């Protein structure tokens, strides 16, 4: 039996070696770090100016949306322009020269980017939000990054499948291969989940390491959100010092060292899951807005087959346009309400209960569902040629379907969790 197991292990290792010989590494862009804004520029940057800057980029971003999709990653010129807006300083703490702008400004600044290109908007919003996550880590790590050579970080936050974090002196040896690496194509840092198996029960940890210490595997072949470049991340036996590690339980509840370090601002104490859900749903509102705009243009020039009537003369088109617009406006209101309530929860003196976080997750799942429904309405009424690959409406439909597949937007699961909470049953999922 032992010989059979060893033979199987040997064959498995051989297959892994062959797979790695044929796999391709992604053509990523690790930032040079020579384009930081000066302290004077940051001090002069207001919320209104930040929103004006990201809004002004809409034509550039929209003009490269097809290229972004075809290259399966953010376009270099577009990404450089987004960096120059200063948006990535949004959640960097003021003590390190950051902006500490509010959640409404975050939504305002990200929506124009997502409206111009769903993939670019998704990556940008997550990379902005991930600096909030870095602000949860130890003061030593924040001094090393925010206060050192990295005024902000571009980084994915990959959680599944979790890797293994083996305890060693002063840190951990990290190994694993993680999927869904949004942001990795332009990253200078990486955050991934590794599990410490030497404690009982095993403890999930979030570990941060320089992007130069991981491989990026070219795996991102999908039917929507293609331009995010969310490729796999892999490393083997990489040492991560203890000050770059935080327990996932602390990150989820925003009770890490940074929550005390930046205690003056409740933003740094708000629960993570509702905030991340809002972050990702900004992209859905953006692409739904875009689809509605293209539909409005289309019905004004489209003559229905078999008639001499323009589509904008038909009540059915009016009804679709009105319903879709109302749904997307409602989704945006839900996002803003969720974001504000999440901050309000953090500002309270008493601990945030599970039911509060579960309710917020269900709200954002509803917002995503509304955006998905709105785009389907538009696509179904836009005619066959709207499904040509050069038509933005079909891209919006594919993009929102992939966005909605994120686990946090599992509509049935989110509502089940809320229903259980309302009748006093324990959660059957930790996604809240």
Instruction: Report residue 352 as tokens.
Output: 């945030």
97 and 236 share a domain? no
Place of tokens 């966005």: 403
Condensed to tens digits (0 to 9), the pLDDT of residues 369-424 reads 999 999 999 999 999 988 998 899 999 999 999 999 988 899 999 999 999 999 99
CB atoms within 10 A of CB 2: 6
pLDDT of residue 176: 98
Domain CATH code at residue 379: 1.20.140.10
Instruction: Give the Cα separation of 238 and 177 in Å (integer).
Output: 12
Indicate whether 29 belongs to any domain: no
Question: The domain that contains 124 carries what CATH number?
Answer: 1.10.540.10
What range does the domain containing 91 cover? 39-149
Cis peptide before 90 (omega within 30 of 0): no
Would you state the pLDDT for residue 285?
A: 98
Which pLDDT score is estimated for 87? Answer: 98
Residues 292 and 402 in one domain: yes
Same structural domain, 176 and 285: no
Same domain as 201, residue 121: no
Rounded CA-CA distance 424/361 in Å is 17
Number of domains present in the structure of the chain: 3
What mean pLDDT, rounded, does the chain reach?
A: 92
64 and 107 share a domain? yes
211 and 300 together in one domain: no
Measured between alpha carbons, how far is 380 from 392 in angstroms, rounded to an integer? 14
Q: Is residue 427, in this structure, part of any structural domain at all?
A: no
Asked if residue 399 is part of any domain, the answer here is yes
Is the link from the previous residue into 201 a cis peptide, with omega within 30 of 0?
yes
Compute the Cα dihedral for 317, 318, 319, 325 and give only its sign.
positive
Task: Look at residue 253 and tell me if it is in a domain.
Answer: no
Provide the pairing of β-strand 171-178 with 157-168.
Answer: antiparallel
Q: How far apart are the first and last CA of the chain?
A: 45
Look at residues 149, 168, 196 and tell me which one is the last residue of a structural domain: 149
Q: Is residue 303 part of a domain?
A: yes
The dihedral through the CA atoms of 282, 283, 287, 288 has a sign that is negative
Which domain CATH number covers 223?
Answer: 2.40.110.10
Same domain, 231 and 292: no
Burial label for 203, CB within 10 Å (0-12, 13-18, 19+), is: middle
Query: Is residue 30 in a domain?
Result: no
6 falls within a domain = no
Backbone angles phi, psi at 269, to 5 degrees: -120, 5
Show the CA angle centred on residue 333, arms to residues 259 and 403, nearest 5°: 75
Whether 374 contacts 292, CB under 8 Å: yes
Out of 149, 167, 183, pick the residue that ends a domain. Answer: 149
Do residues 135 and 168 share a domain? no
- Do 318 and 408 fall into the same domain? yes
Examine the domain organization and report whether 275 and 242 are in the same domain: no
> What are the residue ranges in the chain where pLDDT is below 70?
1-22
Position 27 in a domain: no
Residues 141 and 164 both lie in one domain: no
Any idea which residue has 């209960």 for tokens?
353
Both 201 and 326 in one domain: the answer is: no
- Among 185, 218, 248, residue at a domain's last position: 248
Model confidence pLDDT, tens digit, residues 150-165: 999 999 999 999 999 9
């Amino acid at each position: 039996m032992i010989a059979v197991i060893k033979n199987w292990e040997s064959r498995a290792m051989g297959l892994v070696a062959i797979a790695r010989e044929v796999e391709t590494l992604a053509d990523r862009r690790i930032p040079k770090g020579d384009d930081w804004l000066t302290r004077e520029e940051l001090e002069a940057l207001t919320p209104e100016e930040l929103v004006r800057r990201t809004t002004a980029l809409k034509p550039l971003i929209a003009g490269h949306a097809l290229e972004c999709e075809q290259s399966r990653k953010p376009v270099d010129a577009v990404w450089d322009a987004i960096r120059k807006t200063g948006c990535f300083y949004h959640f960097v703490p003021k003590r390190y020269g950051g902006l500490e702008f509010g959640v409404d400004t975050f939504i305002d600044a990200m929506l124009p980017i997502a409206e111009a290109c769903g993939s670019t908007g998704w990556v940008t919003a997550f990379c902005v939000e991930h600096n909030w996550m870095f602000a949860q880590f130890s003061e030593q790590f924040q001094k090393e990054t925010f206060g050192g050579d990295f005024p902000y970080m571009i980084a994915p936050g990959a959680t599944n499948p979790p890797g293994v974090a083996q305890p060693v002196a002063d840190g951990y040896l990290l190994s694993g291969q993680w999927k869904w690496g949004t942001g990795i194509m332009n990253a200078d840092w990486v955050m991934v989940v590794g599990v410490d198996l030497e404690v009982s029960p095993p403890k999930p940890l979030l570990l941060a390491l320089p992007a130069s210490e991981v491989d990026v595997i070219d795996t991102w072949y999908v039917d929507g959100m293609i331009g995010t470049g969310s490729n796999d991340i892999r490393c083997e036996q990489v040492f991560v010092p203890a000050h770059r590690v935080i327990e996932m339980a602390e990150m989820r509840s925003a009770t890490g060292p940074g929550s005390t370090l930046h205690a003056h601002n409740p933003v740094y104490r708000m629960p993570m899951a509702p905030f991340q859900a809002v972050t990702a749903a900004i992209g859905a509102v953006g692409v739904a807005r875009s689809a509605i705009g293209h539909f409005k243009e289309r019905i004004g020039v489209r003559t229905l087959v078999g008639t001499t009537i323009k589509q904008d003369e038909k009540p059915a088109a009016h009804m679709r346009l009105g319903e879709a617009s109302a749904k997307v406006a409602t989704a945006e209101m839900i996002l803003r309400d969720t974001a504000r309530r999440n901050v309000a929860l953090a500002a309270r003196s008493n601990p945030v209960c599970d039911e509060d976080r579960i309710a917020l997750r269900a709200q954002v799942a509803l917002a995503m569902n509304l955006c998905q429904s709105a785009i389907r309405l538009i696509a179904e009424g836009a005619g066959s040629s709207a499904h040509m690959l050069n038509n933005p409406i079909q891209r919006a439909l594919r993009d929102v379907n992939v966005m909605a597949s994120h686990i946090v937007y599992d509509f049935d699961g989110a509502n089940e969790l809320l229903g259980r909470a309302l009748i006093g049953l324990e959660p059957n999922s930790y996604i809240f």
